Amino acid sequence: MNIIPGDGMRKCYFDYVATNPLHPEVLNTMMPYFKEEFGNPLSIYEPGQRAKKAIEEAREQVASMINARPSTIIFTSSGAEANSFALKGMAIAKQNQGNHVIVSRVEHHSILSSARFLEKSGFVVTYLPVDKYGFVDPEAVKDSITKETIVISIIHASSEIGTIEPIKEIAIVAQERNITMHTDAVATTGNIPIDVKDLGVDLLSMAAHQFYGPKGAGALYVKRGVRIVPLICGGIQEGGRRAGTENVPAIVGMGKAAEIAKSGMSRRIEHCKKLRDKIIEGVLKIPNVHLTGHHGNRLPHHASFVVEFIEGEAMLLMLSMKGIYSASGSACTSKALKSSPVLLSIGIPTALAQGSIVFSLGMSNTEEEVDYFLEEFPRIINRLREMSPFMKKKEGGSKCYTGG
Binding site for another protein (CB under 8 A): 89, 93, 96, 225, 227-230, 233-236, 239-241, 243
Cβ-contact 286, 381 below 8 angstroms: yes
Radius of gyration of the chain (CA): 22
Separation between Cα atoms, residue 315 and residue 373, nearest integer Å = 12
The least CB distance from residue 97 to another protein, in Å, is: 10
Residue 250 CB: number of other CB atoms within 10 A?
24
The least CB distance from residue 213 to another protein, in Å, is: 27
Please pick, among 12, 233, 272, 332, the residue that the annotation labels catalytic: 332
Total H helices, total E strands in the chain: 15, 12
Cβ closest to another protein, residue 225 vs residue 389: 225
Separation between Cα atoms, residue 301 and residue 253, nearest integer Å = 22
Name beta bridge partners: 289. Answer: 307
With vertex at residue 280, the alpha carbon angle to CA 279 and CA 283, rounded to the nearest 5 degrees, is: 75
Query: What type of residue sits at position 32?
Result: P
The least CB distance from residue 88 to another protein, in Å, is: 12
12 carries an active-site annotation: no
Cβ closest to another protein, residue 239 vs residue 403: 239
Helix 312-321 / helix 367-387 crossing angle, nearest 10 deg? 130
Cβ closest to another protein, residue 89 vs residue 341: 89
Residue 233 CB: number of other CB atoms within 10 A?
10
Cβ-contact 381, 285 below 8 angstroms: no
The least CB distance from residue 238 to another protein, in Å, is: 9
Cβ closest to another protein, residue 165 vs residue 238: 238
The least CB distance from residue 122 to another protein, in Å, is: 17
From the list 270, 362, 278, 297, the residue with the least C-alpha distance to 18 is 362
Q: Coil, helix or strand for 5?
A: coil
The least CB distance from residue 313 to another protein, in Å, is: 44
End-to-end Cα separation, the chain, in angstroms: 38
From the list 13, 42, 62, the residue with the least C-alpha distance to 251 is 62
Cβ closest to another protein, residue 93 vs residue 172: 93
Cβ closest to another protein, residue 234 vs residue 403: 234
Separation between Cα atoms, residue 122 and residue 331, nearest integer Å = 30
Separation between Cα atoms, residue 261 and residue 390, nearest integer Å = 44
The least CB distance from residue 108 to another protein, in Å, is: 24
Separation between Cα atoms, residue 241 and residue 227, nearest integer Å = 10
Cβ closest to another protein, residue 240 vs residue 349: 240
Active site residues: 332
